[in-house]
Amino acid sequence: MIEGLITVHLVMEPAKGDEMRRPPTSPKEPLFPAFAASALSGYALRAQADIPEDGVRTETLTLFAMCEWLNVLDCRSELRSGLSLSLLRNRWLLSGLVLANVLQRGEVFHTAPIEPAVMGWLLVAALPVLPVEEARKSAARRALCLRV
């Protein structure tokens, strides 16, 4: 549900102008789910600590959601860095992110409370999603330059 609130708004992203000139992405292109690796690593680390299981599950869900939020912000362009794109260029996406964040922290999913310090740790654990996606885009730009 959280992902749907965000990704549905990607269609509202303004056109870049070169979409029809680029070849489609190959269905054989491998996907590296950095967010899954972060979430599973976070779960494994927190499960080893003396934390109640509902807290570990909530932290893992929140970490996964944070990875998704960072990923969707970076995936607004297939080739350009998401860090170079203004957050305000797609107000629908921004509103979806805010709504997803509110729902994630609310009673909708019956989650356990998370302390602010843990939220900071979760954000740090989610950050590897950005360099992984930026590296993929860099490789895609190089490959595109080689084809031209």
- The whole-angstrom separation of Cα 95 and Cα 102 is 11
- More confident: 92 or 25: 92
pLDDT at 85: 86
- More confident: 138 or 1: 138
pLDDT at 124: 92
Closest listed residue to residue 38, CA positions, set 13, 5, 72, 63: 63
- The whole-angstrom separation of Cα 64 and Cα 58 is 10
Concatenating the DSSP letter of every residue in 94-115 gives HHHHHHHHHHHHSTTTTPPP--
- The whole-angstrom separation of Cα 85 and Cα 99 is 21
pLDDT at 7: 66
